[in-house]
Structure 1
């Protein structure tokens, strides 16, 4: 669980977002350490709890709320031999240039080389004559 700040209008349990890094005004903000300092650029986060604490913010229509976030499970395509529920693997993106599969081949929130735990096998698809498994994973560590 990570504590961070999000715009008041976005502060809803279940909302997912990708953190792309601090905006220019954040670099001099006194709350930057708790707001952006706990997040890793390029990662996906899911709000699990909204606390009843708010702070002024020049970027988010005047206010941000304190929230608790986690990294959610993400679906990604893997080689069939790696698709074993419960196993931990070093993520290697599959080779598929089909634009309709882009979010499964290189999902935002995961990086090649991440260690992930396979939670479930949710499907499969074919690309260039090869079959790939779609798995739901959680990043480890």
Structure 2
């Protein structure tokens, strides 16, 4: 679990976001280490708990709240040979040019080369003449 700060309007358990990196004002903020220093650019996070602590912030309307976040499981298409529940694999994105499947071919929050654990096999997916498995994975840190 990671502690960070989010705008008070967004501070709701279950909300997911992609951290895109620090904005310019964050670089000189006294809270930057806690706020953006704990997050990795390009990763997906889910708020699991909102604490009753708030701070002022020049980027958000009003204040930011202290929240606890985790990296949630993410769905991704993989080669069927590595789709084994419990296996830990190095993620290699599959070749699928179907725009309707882009969200699971290269899902936000994962990078090719990430070490992931296959948590669940969801379904078979066809892309052109190839068949893949849609799986839910968690990133290994």
TM-score in terms of structure 1 length: 0.99
Alignment match, 2:20: 20
Alignment match, 1:8: 8
Q: How does 1:47-66 map to 2 (within 5 A)?
A: 47-66=47-66
| Stretches (4+) displaced over 2 A | none
| Structure 1 counterpart SS, 2:9 | helix
User: How many residues end up aligned between the 2 structures?
Assistant: 141
Q: CA RMSD in A?
A: 0.5
CA distance in 1, matches of 2:97, 2:39: 30
Alignment match, 1:85: 85
Is residue 71 of structure 1 aligned with residue 57 of structure 2?
no
CA distance in 2, matches of 1:23, 1:97: 33
Alignment match, 1:133: 133
CA distance in 2, matches of 1:6, 1:90: 31
Gaps of 5+ in 1: none
| Structure 2 counterpart SS, 1:54 | strand
Gaps of 5+ in 2: none
CA distance in 2, matches of 1:61, 1:122: 40
CA distance in 1, matches of 2:99, 2:20: 22
Q: Deviations 1:39-72 (Å, cap 9, x if unpaired)?
A: 0000000000000000000111020000000000
